[in-house]
Structure 1
Amino acid sequence: MNVDSQQAAFDDHHDDPGDLPVMRARFEHNGSPRYMLYTIKRHGFDRDHGFHLDVELVSDELEGGVETVEARLQDGEADLIDIDYISTARERAEGASIVAFHPYGRTVGGLVTPEETDIEGLTDLHDYRIGVVRRVDKNWILVRAACREFHGFDPEETATSVEAGSKVALTRMLQDGEVDAILQFWPIIPEITETGPFREVFPVADLVQRLSGTDRKLPVSTFLTSETFLDERTETVRRFANAYRDAVNLLVEDDDLWEELGQRLMTYDDPNVVTAIRDGWRDMVVRDWDHETVEGMEQLFDHLLKVAGPRTLGVDQIPEGTFRPEVTIR
């Protein structure tokens, strides 16, 4: 489903903000946060908490080397996005005035191949063409780190990574046979495996847990805003966090809501696809965090840095002030 069709679903629930403070949310049209954002608008959770959430969906193309949503935030055209915290650290280290104020979830992907393939796990990646959105994508970094830590090789050296530039192009590369496997993001995988001769070999979430050395579900992606917006609109940020919790609670409990999401926001409203995305979302999402959560995220980063190195991560430390958990901790 294209950007315009999905945006129309949101516009049905966009009303006049009146005197309410406005938070401009800019999110990818094929990213999983749109389910939560739609729920907030559909059920008026933003108004319930005293603010107006203005949602605009954008493509996942790159602008000047960064994803579109990142560019919007850095250019002052957005107040709310989500990206993984490795990218947040990288951009902040390069001078971007962005901060992570609340977790979203374990938003990684999986390795997808044609059904008829000899690839069964990490040790089989040698000599294959592996499609990635870009080489600094978290899925590729995690796969490289796991291969180096557990199997003593780096697939960047023994396989061929092929950059697609977007999630849509990545799927097309697999379907057209341009690559032997892809590291696709989790919400898109059911649309591939349920509708074509493809299978998921392994989820990257398993690698996150192995590398972190903990059973605690760690968020990989967080919600971001600018330092200026956080300083000037702290209460609006807190109100979003409360609306987010309300939406998560409903999405975890209400199966009927997912049927509506399938009809309005998904390319395929096949019940099997919708159910797979629903279950994956519920397993991925993180309602809240605390300082212990942040410590775990920092430990995972340190482990990735040790295994993959600063060149692979694009940053050698998480800059001070990247995480602001005290803003939204209950």
Structure 2
Amino acid sequence: MDIDTQQSALDELHADPGELPVMRARFEHNGSPRYMLYTIKRFGFDRDHGFHLDVELVSDELEGGIETVEAKLHEGDADLIDIDYISAARERVNGAPIVAFHPYGRTVGGLVVPEASSIEGLTDLRDCRVGVVRRLDKNWILTRAACLEYHGFDPEAEATSVESESKVELTRMLRDGDVDAALQFWQIIPEIVETGPYREVIPMADLVQRLSGADRTLPISTFLTSESYLSETPEAVRGFKRAYVDAVERLRTDDEFWDELGERMMYEDDPAVVRDGWREMVVADWDVETTAAMEQLFDHLLEVAGPDALGVDRIPDDLFQLEVPQPQ
């Protein structure tokens, strides 16, 4: 199912916003947030909470070294995106006026190889070509940190990382044999392994929990907006937080609705497989303990892998906004 077909399904749900504040959501066409966005629109959770969510799906390619959704937020063409908090910290440190105001989930991926591959674990990555969307991708950061901590080598030095610059291109590289393994995003892995012949060697979610030492699901991806939108339209940001919780509840409890999502918003995936993975990944809300655990994981990755691997040496104090400010 191509991007235009998915966008048409969303456009059918876009009514006139009227007097409601508009939040422009720009998300990748093959990213898992589209299931949640469709749910909000399908059941009118945005209107229930006093705002209009305008959803547009975009390419997953890089623009100037950053993801398309990041570029749209920086350029003022979006009010809502999701990226991992390490990337958000990197952008904030470099002067981008962005803030993370709500968690999304443990949006990482997995190491995928051909079925006949001899790669069975991280130790087998030496001398291999490993496909990554970009070297600053969270999956590569986690892999480097885990290899350094548990196996005593850095795959950036002892393997060859090959950047694809998009998830679609990464899948092509794996299928064409341009790489020996690929660190693909979790929501795309079912499509690859089901249409085979490929297998997932290691879920990155396991590395997140092991490296962080956290017991509960730790969000890696967060919802971001600009400082100006947060200060000028706080009612829409608060409304999105509430609509998101409603959507998460629906997606956690309504198995039959996932069949509709499969028909309208998926490619070749089994809706039940995606549903189960989504439910394991998603985080409905956060608190100071959550962000403390996120910072602890960051500090550990920084200690093990170093600032060059992360592309940033700290999380700015003002990146996470747990409470939306009241209008002045």
Q: TM-score if structure 1 supplies the norm length? A: 0.97
> Where does the alignment leave 5 or more consecutive residues of structure 2 unmatched?
none
Q: Name the counterpart of 2:109.
A: 109
Deviations 1:45-101 (A, max 9, x none): 001111100000000111111110000001111000000000000011111000000
The residue number in structure 1 matching 2:7 is: 7
Q: Deviations over 1:216-258 (max 9, x none)?
A: 2110000000001111111210110000000000000111111
Identity of aligned residues (%): 73
Q: Which residue of 2 aligns with 1:70?
A: 70
Paired letter, 1:220: I
Matches of 1:120 and 1:274, distance apart in 2: 28
Looking at structure 2, the residues matched to 195 and 117 of structure 1 have their Cα atoms a distance apart, in angstroms, of 17
**What residue in structure 2 maps to residue 52 of structure 1?**
52
1:311 corresponds, among 280, 285, 308, to: 308
- In the other structure, the counterpart of 1:297 is 294
> In the alignment, what sits opposite 2:38?
38
Aligned residues: 325
Work out the CA distance in 2 between the residues paired with 1:128 and 1:320. Answer: 38
Structure 2 residue 279 is the aligned partner of structure 1 residue 285: no
Deviations 1:107-165 (A, max 9, x none): 00000000011111111111111000010000000000000011110011111110001
AA paired with 1:4? D
The CA RMSD measured in Å over matched residues stands at 0.9
Secondary structure in structure 2 of the residue aligned to 1:327: coil
Q: Does 1:325 align with 2:322?
A: yes
Equivalent residue letter for 2:114: P
- Whether 2:222 is the aligned partner of 1:222: answer yes
**Secondary structure, aligned partner of 1:201:** strand
Counterpart Cα distance in 2 of 1:275 and 1:175: 25
Deviation digits for residues 22-44 of structure 1, max 9, x if unmatched?
00000000000000000000111
Q: Specify the alignment match of 2:86 in structure 1.
A: 86
Match of 1:263 in 2: 263
User: What's the counterpart of residue 166 of structure 2?
Assistant: 166
Separation in structure 2 between the aligned mates of residue 61 and residue 192 of structure 1, nearest angstrom: 19
Corresponding residue for residue 122 of structure 2:
122
What is the deviation of 1:326? 2.1
Please state how far the C-alpha of 1:214 moved relative to its aligned partner.
Answer: 1.8
1:184-223 maps to which residues of 2 (within 5 A)?
184-223=184-223
* Residue type at the aligned position of 1:14: H
Residue type of the alignment partner of 1:141: I
Q: Give the Cα separation in 2 of the matches to 1:205 and 1:44.
A: 32
Runs of 4+ with deviation above 4 angstroms: none
Match of 1:148 in 2: 148
Residue 26 of structure 1 aligns to a residue whose secondary structure is strand
- The secondary structure found in structure 2 opposite 1:199 is strand
Where does residue 275 of structure 1 map in the other structure?
Answer: 272
- Please state how far the C-alpha of 1:276 moved relative to its aligned partner: 1.2
Corresponding residue SS for 2:195: coil
For structure 1, the 5+ residue unaligned runs are none
